[in-house]
A and B are shown apart, each in its own frame.
Chain A
Amino acid sequence: MKVVALRLVLLALFLGAWEVAGRRMNPLLGIPPSAVLPALRDLLLLRSYPDLVASLVLTVREIATAYVLAVAAGLGCGFMLGMHRLVGRAWGPMLGALYAVPAVVWYPSLMLFFGLDAASKIAFGFLLGFFPIALAVLAGIRQVNPQLVVVARAYGAGTVTVFRRVMLPAMLFTLVGGLRTGLALCVIGVIVGEILGSKAGMGALINHAYGLLRTGDYVALVLVTLTLVVGSDVLASLLEHRARRWTE
């Protein structure tokens, strides 16, 4: 109880300090919370940006496409590497090394290759989401106790049964964690891509508001985008919870 009260006090203090600081700053740069609210209302009533809904839908579609592709490729690649010992030991570290490269260095090339439209954002979201998923599958397969597989085989289980009854339950924790990280990174990738250069989508609106110094609209757009991000994470955590219950 006391903790919750203190949290609220802290939040109020922060907003108060922001309000005071924002009012004393150049109004083009410092936006106090009291100025954000009208901007947010205008935005949600589609007064400041009439194409908000279309942009939101476009961004969500880009994220969804990138994620579906990343899941498909990540699962495929991860299982391929996990099932073949030699290939896994050779390519696993290479995959890990590529994952460690700050992915944003690829973005200019992706933009040249895929153009300024949705394709380059999808490609970048895919690139960010693919690695954690593939590496999680690989790590998950390595977690499976080989003795259990041998025993199941000895009792006459087929490949499908071994996979469903032995491997999947053993690797599910890691796999689901990787799928969740992958979604978070897909979302970030698409948004980063849109902000670094695009013609449509939430990132383009944010860039427009920022470029015209409409800072209030910018903050309101960021809040809407944050809702999208948090929403996707809540959805992912619900699914993760469900998957964990299924194994128990």
Chain B
Amino acid sequence: MRVRILQLVTVVAGLAVWEVAARSGWVDPLFVPAPSAVAPALRRIGGDALAGLADTLGKTALAYVLSVVLGVSAGIAVGSVRLLRDVLSPYLVALYGIPKILVLPWIVLLLGYGTTPAVFYGTLHGFFPIMVLVMGAVRDVDHTLVTVARSLGATTWQLYWKVLLPAIVPSVLVGMRLGIVFCLLGVLVVEMFAWDGPRAGLVRQRLSGTGALRSHRARLGRVDRDRSGAGPPQR
């Protein structure tokens, strides 16, 4: 109870400090608009923002399904076959570790703008953590269980379906929970990086998604779109 109250107080105090800071001119309201200016702005761009949100969530969902399906199946395959695991795991861990932003320009060059690179990059972000987690879980399945199942005459199919899969369910769930954040992150990065640019004529350009909307606002310096009469004309 006291915890909830303290949390509530924190949020309210944070908003109050923000409001006061913006109103009293400690910070330029063009860069840090007060919460009271954000709310009407949200109402005004609500339609655009919801459409953008739907677009972003659609791409994220697609990327998420792809990364879960691919990640879990690759994790099971690589984790359960000893040779594959020994040969591939250093490469996979290295690919997991490198910042994927470095290949983003190339992805955009190859796939253009719009939905495809966003889904691809989102999948790339979600795939590796899920796969590495599932791979580790398959590797760490209790060997006694496998041996017992084998000695009782289980077929390979039964071994996977009745022993391995139930044993890795917790890790798959953890991976799925992590994966959604990574997929969303990947999609947002693409939407910010590749919504418009110096090569707009070269590759297909599509202005959609929350990321695009956000960059658009940021580029116009129109943080809250509430400075009526001032600034550039409305889009």
Contacts and interface: CB of A to CB of B under 8 A. Distances in A.
Contacts of B198: 211
Contact of B199 (A107, A112, A113, A211): A211
A206 B101 CA distance: 11
Given A6-B87, A100-B181, A195-B193, A222 B31 contact: no
B91 interface: yes
B206 interface: no
Given A105-B214, A112-B218, A215-B109, A195 B104 contact: yes
A106 B88 CA distance: 36
Nearest to A202: B102
A210 interface: yes
Interface stretch (A39-47, A52-60, A67-75, A225-233): A225-233
B153 to A, nearest CB: 31
Nearest to A105: B188
A196 B3 contact: no
Nearest to B182: A102
B185 A104 contact: yes
B62 interface: no
B188 A104 contact: yes
B152 interface: no
A87 B218 contact: no
Contacts of B192: 104, 107-108, 196
9 contacts: A10-B91, A90-B2, A91-B6, A103-B185, A108-B214, A192-B189, A211-B198, A226-B98, A229-B99
Interface in A15-49: 28-29
Given A108-B192, A215-B106, A226-B102, 14 more contacts: A6-B83, A7-B87, A86-B2, A90-B2, A93-B7, A105-B214, A108-B217, A112-B218, A112-B223, A113-B27, A187-B99, A195-B102, A210-B108, A215-B109
Contact of B105 (A90, A94, A218): A218
B109 A210 contact: yes
A207 interface: yes
Interface string B163-205: 0000000000000000001001100110011000111000000
A195 B101 contact: yes
A7 to B, nearest CB: 5
Contacts of B6: 86-87, 90-91
Interface pairs A-B: 8 shortest CB-CB: A210-B105, A108-B218, A90-B6, A102-B185, A3-B86, A188-B99, A6-B87, A90-B3
A3 B109 contact: no
A206 B184 contact: no
B185 A113 contact: no
Q: Is the interface of B mostly helix, strand, loop or mixed?
A: helix
A226 B197 CA distance: 25
B10 A94 contact: yes
B230 interface: no
A104 B90 CA distance: 29
Give the interface size class of chain B. Answer: 35 or more
Contacts of B109: 28-29, 210, 213, 215
A191 interface: yes
B49 interface: no
A179 to B, nearest CB: 16
A113 B32 contact: yes
B99 A192 contact: yes
B221 interface: yes
Contacts of B199: 211, 213
A142 to B, nearest CB: 15
B211 to A, nearest CB: 8
Contacts of B7: 90-91, 93-94
Given A113-B31, A113-B32, A210-B105, A229 B98 contact: yes
A134 B199 CA distance: 41
Contact of B3 (A89, A187, A191, A218): A89
Contact of B102 (A86, A90, A103, A222): A222
Contacts of B97: 184, 233
Nearest to A93: B7
B103 interface: yes
Contacts of A188: 99, 101
A128 to B, nearest CB: 11
